[in-house]
């Protein structure tokens, strides 16, 4: 064949004339794939093969929450192998990760990126454990940083409740179930897609193909079978319990009334509930309104709970977009309900795209503190110590048409509505309404919402009055003393620096 | 000036143990008509001083809006009752709830102590209201005398737990309380004061609670004690007049207005003369409805 005779051949992408030779095999699938898989004998082998070097970045997901055994196992192995100066880029860290303290002291880990921090590690870091400040990013901010190269992952270590020999990994198993299921692997999927090397750690190798899968084999380099990826009890309880706390229920009921009065409860609306008793309880009051009015939601987004899945199964929520399954019932719903869709962190909340958060009518979010400019802190406690996580807070607050913060006016003797929050995580401009047990305040940026709430008979006060009442009830706390040392940098969802966290002075 | 009003809405009286600071601080956010801080049975003996001190300071410092503030004291014979009164009367309690009232003399004795304390603190004698809880067979049989024992009494209440023990029975479907309820109700009405029903302690049984609330409303009670904020909304709902009754009440009031305009002393509706009790009932119904409509989430 003479290619030159084909008009415009130089404009057609081609690699010359077909030779007619093909590579053909008569062996069965079983015979030909024997030994041709990505399973390596142990973690060390996978690490050596990945080419990890000192000073590189390793990543982890937090779908196993406080039951995670993967991060500690990997970091212990890396320490044993003599690695130094590593960056740990986890989608979040929990109390279970306290052993990182030793790795930081020994110089194995010098940098940390995360959404949140709790427990002993958080205490130590707030007291100045690390030279280099911790970088806190929201779930959307982290996804954007990864896809844009701002955060480059050299090797991702991703725990998976099931994986086949080729690396198709999932957050539950369709084979005989071994009791560990985390549901969505949304955050891990972003790491898998963009990391230079991906090592899946699983306690459950299943036959190929592990379909449907969260992470495709094309993203995975090595599969390591381990005894233990986590403690099912710590990974998730059966179902997120409905709160019976009357104060939380009052806040939740008011928040549901606010959503309705503001005009965002219509047939085909879209929603997200953040974590926290009051926030999750809003679903219960919305459910009744939906039944009474005969309407249903187009989708529910985000961290998904048993309540959301039950409403989906009742036909009240058409579809679920699940970046993280909060409880076992949610994980099992992902397995059995085909309109319960697993999504990755970029799809969920990256500001670089018209991501799912931008399609939210409303989001209900918690807060540790909120100030009179409506700035919200979800990261540092009243003692200045890091004790929380950014999560998707700023992503959803900005993305949703209506962001409602639910918080008690005071927690014990701590006022939650204050003059200035310790750390600004979500700027006031992204926050529309505050619902407390003692009144509702609307951001002056949204006068039309205040009017609608008043028209519906909801008493609206000012955030300054709520602050005054909080201070009148429990007093104004003494200021927290910090040193000049910056121990943490908080990023907004577009990866601009929004605040810093300083070392507490004792 | 009197700290209490005899004639006010008392659908719900929320019990709060006097030694629980979190609940004391938060109770005003719920829409109960009255709040009752307890120094008596919900407080262990070793906690009595703590509770008294906490309630004293709560009355002095916290803002409970327009709610009626009641404190249940220990009975005077325990020796604690007078100490309780010494703390709460100067602190500004609206109504003192006397427990285990067996006779008119119990009320008179308590009133004497209150008057003495009022005088001592330069408070106008008679400012503090009282209510008496009847919790024994003796008390039930003396209900009429108890209800008439003091001008300060805003109402009498049934305390069922002690009462059924005294009767040698237990709480069941309500039949065991029918006599006591009827006695207390009639005694209260004879004295022109409120009749208040006992607690329903199974907070998770909303159905049972509503059934009991419906029963006592039918009997004629003004309201009921509640032990959990979750009981308030269903209780108020029971006391919410039906649309049919409400429309009738408005029609009656309109007819009265019409008669007035015409200068006539006699009003009639659908050919029936409207007499005084009918008007009274219509007015009460409308007041109840308006109270039920208020989104009672505190003052601004």
A324 by Cβ neighbours in 10 Å (0-12 / 13-18 / 19+) ranks as buried
Task: Give how far Cα A225 sits from Cα of A162, A180, A228, A319, Å.
Answer: 10, 15, 9, 34
pLDDT of residue A201: 98
Give the ipTM: 0.77
Nearest to B151 by CA among B190, B91, B191: B191
Cα B154–B156–B160 angle (5° rounding)?
150
- Asked if B297 is an interface residue toward chain A (Cβ–Cβ < 8 A), one would say yes
pLDDT of residue B297: 43
How many Cβ contacts (< 8 angstroms) between chains A and B? 33
What confidence category does residue A68 fall into, taking pLDDT thresholds of 50, 70 and 90?
very high
Nearest-angstrom CA–CA distance, A439 and A410:
12
Q: How far is B297 from chain A (nearest CA, A)?
A: 7
B133 by Cβ neighbours in 10 Å (0-12 / 13-18 / 19+) ranks as buried
pLDDT of residue A178: 60
Task: Give how far Cα A218 sits from Cα of A50, A149, A209, A337, A415, Å.
Answer: 15, 20, 13, 26, 51
Q: Which of A199-213, A457-471, B264-278, B284-298 has the lowest mean pLDDT?
A: B284-298
What confidence category does residue A238 fall into, taking pLDDT thresholds of 50, 70 and 90?
low
Give the tens place of pLDDT for each residue, B224-241: 999 999 999 999 999 988
pLDDT of residue B300: 36
Residue pair A139/A91 in contact (Cβ under 8 Å)? The answer is yes
Q: How far is B26 from chain A (nearest CA, A)?
A: 8
Give the tens place of pLDDT for each residue, B23-53: 999 999 999 999 999 999 999 999 999 999 9
Q: For strand B194-197 and strand B223-226, is the pairing parallel, antiparallel, or unpaired?
A: parallel
What fold characterizes domain B12-238? Answer: TIM Barrel (3.20.20)
**Is B131 a residue whose pLDDT tops 90?**
yes
- Asked if B299 is an interface residue toward chain A (Cβ–Cβ < 8 A), one would say no
Domains annotated on chain A, with CATH: 39-235 (3.40.1080.10), 246-480 (3.40.1080.10)
Task: Give how far Cα B54 sits from Cα of A388, B21, B38, Å.
Answer: 33, 7, 11
Nearest to A147 by CA among A343, A350, A348, A324: A350
Nearest to B134 by CA among B213, B178, B197: B197
- Most confident by average pLDDT, A17-31, A242-256, A440-454, B160-174: A440-454
Chain A from 163 to 222: CB within 8 A of any B CB: none
Q: How many percent of chain A have pLDDT more than 70?
A: 98
Dihedral of the alpha carbons of B95, B100, B106, B109, in degrees to the nearest 10: -50
- Asked if A439 is an interface residue toward chain B (Cβ–Cβ < 8 A), one would say yes
Secondary structure element (H or E) that encloses residue B154, with its range: strand B153-158
Q: Which of A51-55, A329-333, B121-125, B142-146 has the lowest mean pLDDT?
A: A329-333
pLDDT of residue A174: 79
- Asked if B62 is an interface residue toward chain A (Cβ–Cβ < 8 A), one would say yes
Cα A358–A58–A491 angle (5° rounding)?
40
**Is B174 a residue whose pLDDT tops 60?**
yes
Which residue has tokens 């709970």? Answer: A305
pLDDT, average across residues B287-298: 64
Task: Give how far Cα A132 sits from Cα of A22, A109, A327, A399, A488, Å.
Answer: 55, 10, 35, 31, 8
Closest residue in B to A254 (Cα) is B297
Nearest-angstrom CA–CA distance, B8 and B32:
13
Secondary structure element (H or E) that encloses residue B284, with its range: helix B276-293
pLDDT, average across residues B74-99: 96
Give the tens place of pLDDT for each residue, A324-378: 999 989 999 999 999 999 999 999 999 999 999 999 999 999 999 999 999 999 9
- What average pLDDT does chain A have? 94
What confidence category does residue B295 fall into, taking pLDDT thresholds of 50, 70 and 90?
very low
Residues of chain B neighbouring A464 (CB-CB closer than 8 A) = none
Contacts for B26 with CB less than 8 Å, ≥ 6 apart:
A247, A437
**Is B296 a residue whose pLDDT tops 50?**
no
Give the tens place of pLDDT for each residue, B244-288: 888 888 988 888 888 888 887 778 888 888 888 888 888 888 888
Residue pair A64/A93 in contact (Cβ under 8 Å)? The answer is no
SS3 A60: strand
Q: For A166, what's the count of Cα atoms within 13 Å in the CB-facing half-sphere?
A: 13
Give the tens place of pLDDT for each residue, A162-206: 999 999 999 998 776 666 889 999 999 999 999 999 999 999 999
SS3 A464: helix
What are the backbone dihedrals phi and psi of residue A204, each rounded to the nearest 5 degrees, phi first? -145, 90
Instruction: Kindly report the pTM of this predicted structure.
Output: 0.87
Q: How far is B121 from chain A (nearest CA, A)?
A: 27
What confidence category does residue B81 fall into, taking pLDDT thresholds of 50, 70 and 90?
very high
Q: How far is B22 from chain A (nearest CA, A)?
A: 7
Residues of chain B neighbouring A473 (CB-CB closer than 8 A) = 25, 62
Helix axes B80-91 and B48-61, enclosed angle (nearest 10): 10
Nearest-angstrom CA–CA distance, B236 and B289:
10
Q: For strand A169-170 and strand A162-163, is the pairing parallel, antiparallel, or unpaired?
A: antiparallel
Cα A431–A433–A434 angle (5° rounding)?
100
pLDDT, average across residues B49-63: 95
Residues of chain A neighbouring B298 (CB-CB closer than 8 A) = 438-439
Cα B108–B112–B113 angle (5° rounding)?
125
Region label for A175, one of left (φ > 0), alpha (ψ between -120 and 50) or beta (otherwise): beta
Nearest-angstrom CA–CA distance, B29 and B26:
6
């Amino acid at each position: 064949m003479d290619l030159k005779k084909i008009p415009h051949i130089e404009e057609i992408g081609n690699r010359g004339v077909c030779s007619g030779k093909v590579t053909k095999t008569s062996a069965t699938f079983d015979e030909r794939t024997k030994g041709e898989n990505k399973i390596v004998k142990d973690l060390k082998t996978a690490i050596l093969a990945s080419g990890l070097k000192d000073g590189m970045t390793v990543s982890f997901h937090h779908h196993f929450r406080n039951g995670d055994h993967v991060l500690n196992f990997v970091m212990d192995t890396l320490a044993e192998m003599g690695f130094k100066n590593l960056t740990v880029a986890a989608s979040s860290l929990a109390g279970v990760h306290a052993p990182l303290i030793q790795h930081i002291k020994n110089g194995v880990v010098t940098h940390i990126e995360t959404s949140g921090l709790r427990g002993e590690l958080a205490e130590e870091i707030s007291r100045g454990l690390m030279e280099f400040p911790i970088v806190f990013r929201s779930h959307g901010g982290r996804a954007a940083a990864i896809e844009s190269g701002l955060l480059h992952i050299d090797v991702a270590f991703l725990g998976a409740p099931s994986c086949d020999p080729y690396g198709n990994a999932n957050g539950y198993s369709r084979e005989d179930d071994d009791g560990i299921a985390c549901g969505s692997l949304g955050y891990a999927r972003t790491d898998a897609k963009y990391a230079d090397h991906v090592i899946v750690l699983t306690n459950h190798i299943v036959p190929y193909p592990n379909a449907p899968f969260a992470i495709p084999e094309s993203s995975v380099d090595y599969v390591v079978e381990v005894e233990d990826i986590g403690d099912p009890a710590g990974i998730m309880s059966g179902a997120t319990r409905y709160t019976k706390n009357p104060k939380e229920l009052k806040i939740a009921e008011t928040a549901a009334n606010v959503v309705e009065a503001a005009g965002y409860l219509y047939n085909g609306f879209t929603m997200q509930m953040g974590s926290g008793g009051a926030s999750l309880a809003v679903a219960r009051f919305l459910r009744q309104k939906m039944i009474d009015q005969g309407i249903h939601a187009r989708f529910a987004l985000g961290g998904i709970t048993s309540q959301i899945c039950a409403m989906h199964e009742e036909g009240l929520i058409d579809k679920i977009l699940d970046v993280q399954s909060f409880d076992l019932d949610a994980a099992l719903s992902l397995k059995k309900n085909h309109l319960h869709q697993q999504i990755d962190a970029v799809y969920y909340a990256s500001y670089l795209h018209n991501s799912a958060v931008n399609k939210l009518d409303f989001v209900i979010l918690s807060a540790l503190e909120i100030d009179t400019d409506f700035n919200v802190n979800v990261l540092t406690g009243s003692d200045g110590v890091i004790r929380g996580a950014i999560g998707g807070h700023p992503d959803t607050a900005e993305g949703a048409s209506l962001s409602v913060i639910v918080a008690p006016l005071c927690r014990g003797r701590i006022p939650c509505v204050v003059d200035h929050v310790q750390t600004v995580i979500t700027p006031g401009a992204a926050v529309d309404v505050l619902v407390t047990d003692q009144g509702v305040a609307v951001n002056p940026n949204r006068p039309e919402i205040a009017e609608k709430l008043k028209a519906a008979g909801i008493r609206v006060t000012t955030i300054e009055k709520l602050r005054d009442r909080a201070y009148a009830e429990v007093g104004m706390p003494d200021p927290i003393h910090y040193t000049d040392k910056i121990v943490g940098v908080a990023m907004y969802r577009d990866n601009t620096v929004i605040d810093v966290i300083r070392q507490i002075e004792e | 000036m009197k700290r209490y009003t005899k004639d006010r809405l008392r659908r719900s009286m929320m019990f709060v143990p006097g030694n629980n600071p979190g609940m004391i601080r938060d109770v005003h956010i719920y829409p109960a008509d009255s709040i009752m801080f307890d120094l008596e049975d919900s407080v262990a003996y070793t906690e009595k001083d703590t509770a008294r001190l906490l309630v004293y300071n709560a009355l002095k410092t916290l803002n409970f809006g327009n709610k009626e503030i009641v404190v249940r004291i220990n009975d005077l014979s325990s020796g604690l009752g007078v100490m309780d009164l010494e703390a709460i009367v100067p602190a500004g309690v609206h109504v003192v709830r006397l427990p285990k009232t067996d006779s008119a003399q119990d009320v008179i004795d308590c009133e004497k102590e209150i008057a003495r304390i009022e005088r001592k603190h330069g408070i106008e004698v008679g400012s503090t209201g009282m209510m008496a809880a009847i919790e024994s067979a003796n008390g039930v049989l003396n209900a009429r005398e108890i209800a008439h024992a003091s001008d300060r009494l805003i109402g009498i209440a049934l305390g069922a737990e002690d009462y059924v023990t005294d009767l040698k029975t237990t709480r069941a479907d309500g039949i065991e309380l029918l006599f006591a309820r009827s006695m207390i109700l009639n005694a209260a009405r004879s004295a022109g004061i409120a009749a208040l029903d006992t607690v329903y302690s199974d907070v998770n049984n909303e159905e049972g609670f509503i059934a009991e609330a419906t029963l006592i409303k039918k009997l004629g009670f003004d309201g009921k004690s509640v032990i959990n904020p979750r009981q308030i909304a269903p209780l108020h709902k029971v006391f919410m007049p039906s649309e049919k009754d409400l429309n009738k009440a408005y029609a009656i009031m309109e007819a009265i207005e019409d008669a007035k305009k015409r200068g006539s002393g006699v009003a009639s509706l659908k050919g029936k003369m409207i007499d005084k009790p009918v008007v009274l009932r219509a007015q009460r119904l409308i007041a109840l409805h308006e109270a039920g409509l208020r989104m009672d989430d505190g003052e601004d």
